Amino acid sequence: MKVLGIHDGHNASACMIEDGRITAAIEQERIVRVKNWCGVPDQAIRWVLDVTNTKPEEVDWVALNGRHMPRPHNREQVMEEYSNTQSFATSLRRMLKLTPAKAMYLKKRRNERLQGVARAGIDPQKVHFVEHHLAHASAAYFGWGKMDEDVLVLTNDGGGDFLCATVSRGNGGTIKRLAKVPDSESIGNIYAMTTFIMGMVPLEHEFKLMGMAPYAHEKGRDKVYSLLRPLMQFDGNGGLTWHRTDGCPETYYSYRFFSHLFERQRFDSISAGLQQFTEDMLVTWVRNCMRQTGLRKVALSGGTFMNVKANKLIMELPELDDLFIFPSPGDETNAMGAALWTYEQKRKSEPRAEPLGPFYFGPEVDRSDVEAALQKYPGRPWDCVEHSDIEAEVGALLARGEIVARCKGRMEFGARALGNRSILADPTRPEVIRIINDMIKSRDFWMPFAPAILEERSGDYLRNPKKIFAPYMILSFDTTERAPELQAALHPYDRSARPEVVREGWNPDFHRVLKEFERRTGRGVLLNTSFNLHGFPIVMTADDALDVFDRSGLQHLAVGNFMISKTAQ
């Protein structure tokens, strides 16, 4: 059975599931080179069909994320909408939602989405709409694969299908919803609105506030926290849900309210107070849910769980035995969640959905791609050598203190670069932080990098008493006394790490790069950051890799089996 999964909203994506296994997945932004591209991902759909040798008529079912999806917005339109959330026009539209006009609009949007799918070459008769938070829950539950055990499944995000959070029990391949929270109470919306008020892009730059939070003085942090915490109160059902207190508006329609609330507060205090509020709400909620259900194994999904600092505190709860967070748990992975749910509902003799493993579902780079891309840069003062063992060459350069961009193998899906589209460096050299920030990434100075660590060496660097596997950069950990060996890849204030633990069987080539570096230095860890220019998607093709190489201060690029180095002019 073949199920095509589609997410046609913010950071649109498509995936293919064949007999229970994800075989291909890609975000449209990688193809069109527009970050967080929104709409029906026609080119992503086409790529998924092509790479799996699937004709449109051979697709058995099409799983579409969400019963309702707002009309597409680009970055400028998102910013404009957030600034107008309490305007007269917005208030009028909210009033119309209380009339039959809402049903008419929802029906119109449903037809528009089906027409968009049809223009992409897909039969609308095969479309199965999957409720937004059910898609998130399915990604977490089926992705973990513990279908013969009782699992607490929690979802939390800004909003989707008019909800912001759900509580479910997963068992025997079924997901039973126990509680839900309407999107009017969304803590994810509070984080996004604060991001906007701070002059950054909502739905994109929330991680910058999380990165800034540890730098604030505790007095300023506590002041802002004291302003935020009274806005939400847990309900009398054991705290499975929560509600806004009097005076707090619906969290999406809150620009003026939070602008006034944060008036005359320092920027770092706002970040820290918001982060503490978010951590407190999420940790308390997860603890409440475990106590009410008696379940100690927890699966999480939804964009709020991109917050790795909150995830760390959840992981450390004494009540919790085991934890799985679907990687890149924002809406982009709901193409997978919707497809997994549909597959499990429609399968008969087909096998169960496979647990998630390596997260490399995109295109590969082959020799001809590199040769064709190089033809576009005649006369550049570059050395270009094809190596029979490119991994050893990369490891040697890194051991000498060089920064190397790597583009090889299948591209990672989601927000995190996991070695195949990464910029790598020796994390014992703090000077690489400024080089990468100033000459390559143009990123904010306070943002930490992340380490890639050999699985067999992870115990040397990470404090992980519960032995929770962390291959996706979605959890953070305290570090051991060997933290100086990864200092440039830690948060510079609290010394925590957001690692990719590299398992040999999941990515043998990248594992070998780390082993080659270890052989020369004795250290089984590298600094790993995404291979892209600030504000642009992660590179996908050899063309993209060479474009960033040409436009940045990068000196070394390993693309496929070629090493390209800039020479002195």
Q: Would you place residue 399 in the very low, low, confident or very high pLDDT band (cuts 50, 70, 90)?
A: very high
The domain limits of the chain are 2-65+68-130+335-346, 144-325, 367-566
What percentage of the chain carries pLDDT values higher than 90? 90
Domains 2-65+68-130+335-346 and 144-325 share a fold: yes
Phi-psi region of 535 (alpha: psi -120 to 50; beta: other; left: phi over 0): left
pLDDT in tens, 36-73: 999 999 999 999 999 999 999 999 999 999 999 999 99
Q: What is the mean pLDDT of the segment spanning 369-389?
A: 95
For residue 226, give the amino acid letter. Answer: S
Cα–Cα distance measured from residue 153 to residue 325, given in angstroms and rounded to the nearest whole number: 10
Cα–Cα distance measured from residue 515 to residue 525, given in angstroms and rounded to the nearest whole number: 9
pLDDT score for 66: 97
Sheet with 322-325: list strands edge to edge. 174-182, 163-171, 151-160, 297-301, 322-325
Torsion of CA 197, 200, 202, 203, to 10 degrees: -150
Q: What is the mean pLDDT of the segment spanning 371-385?
A: 95
Domain 367-566 grouped into CATH 3.90.870.20: yes
Torsion of CA 37, 39, 43, 49, to 10 degrees: 120
Burial of 308 by CB count in 10 Å (0-12 exposed, 13-18 middle, 19+ buried)? buried
Q: What is the mean pLDDT of the segment spanning 158-172?
A: 97
* Dihedral sign computed on CA atoms, order 473, 476, 480, 484: positive
Q: Would you place residue 335 in the very low, low, confident or very high pLDDT band (cuts 50, 70, 90)?
A: very high
Phi, psi of 24, deg, nearest 5 = -160, 145
pLDDT score for 130: 98
Residue 494 has pLDDT above 90, yes or no: no
User: 3-class DSSP state for residue 167?
Assistant: strand
The third-level CATH classification (topology) of the domain covering 2-65+68-130+335-346 is Nucleotidyltransferase; domain 5 (3.30.420)
CATH value of 144-325 in 3.40.30.10, 3.30.420.40, 3.30.470.20, 1.10.510.10:
3.30.420.40
Phi, psi of 405, deg, nearest 5 = -90, 140
For residue 86, give the amino acid letter. Answer: Q
Residue 193 has pLDDT above 60, yes or no: yes
CB 328 within 8 A of CB 11: no
Q: Would you place residue 114 in the very low, low, confident or very high pLDDT band (cuts 50, 70, 90)?
A: very high
Q: What is the mean pLDDT of the segment spanning 141-151?
A: 96
Cα–Cα distance measured from residue 451 to residue 568, given in angstroms and rounded to the nearest whole number: 30
Phi, psi of 328, deg, nearest 5 = 50, 65
pLDDT score for 81: 86
DSSP summary character for residue 63: E
Q: Note the maximum CA span of the chain.
A: 71
pLDDT in tens, 320-333: 999 999 999 999 99
Q: With CA atoms as reference, report the closest residue to 56 among 109, 111, 10, 125.
A: 125
Phi-psi region of 224 (alpha: psi -120 to 50; beta: other; left: phi over 0): alpha
pLDDT score for 443: 80
Q: What is the mean pLDDT of the segment spanning 415-437?
A: 96
Phi, psi of 91, deg, nearest 5 = -60, -40
pLDDT in tens, 447-479: 889 999 999 999 999 999 999 999 999 999 999
Residue 92 has pLDDT above 90, yes or no: no
Residue 569 has pLDDT above 60, yes or no: no
* Dihedral sign computed on CA atoms, order 271, 277, 283, 289: negative
Distances (CA, A) of 537 to 34, 497, 545: 7, 23, 11
Residue 207 has pLDDT above 80, yes or no: yes
Burial of 281 by CB count in 10 Å (0-12 exposed, 13-18 middle, 19+ buried)? buried
Phi-psi region of 161 (alpha: psi -120 to 50; beta: other; left: phi over 0): left
Q: With CA atoms as reference, report the closest residue to 501 among 531, 537, 457, 560.
A: 457
Least confident of 160-174, 412-426, 430-444: 430-444
Mean pLDDT of the chain: 95
Instruction: Tell me the CB-side half-sphere exposure of residue 433, using CA atoms within 13 A.
Output: 19
Element holding 335 (H helix, E strand): helix 334-346
Q: Would you place residue 568 in the very low, low, confident or very high pLDDT band (cuts 50, 70, 90)?
A: low
Residue 429 has pLDDT above 90, yes or no: yes
Residue 395 has pLDDT above 70, yes or no: yes
- Please name every residue paired with 160 in a beta bridge, in sequence order, or none if there are none: 163
Q: What is the mean pLDDT of the segment spanning 79-95?
A: 78
Q: Would you place residue 88 in the very low, low, confident or very high pLDDT band (cuts 50, 70, 90)?
A: low
Q: Would you place residue 412 in the very low, low, confident or very high pLDDT band (cuts 50, 70, 90)?
A: very high
Cα–Cα distance measured from residue 200 to residue 81, given in angstroms and rounded to the nearest whole number: 14
The pTM (predicted TM-score) of the whole model is 0.96
What percentage of the chain carries pLDDT values higher than 70? 99
pLDDT in tens, 49-58: 999 999 999 9
The pairing of strands 556-559 and 404-407 is parallel
pLDDT in tens, 267-317: 999 999 999 999 999 999 999 999 999 999 999 999 999 999 999 999 999
pLDDT score for 442: 78
Sheet with 127-130: list strands edge to edge. 21-27, 13-18, 2-7, 61-65, 127-130
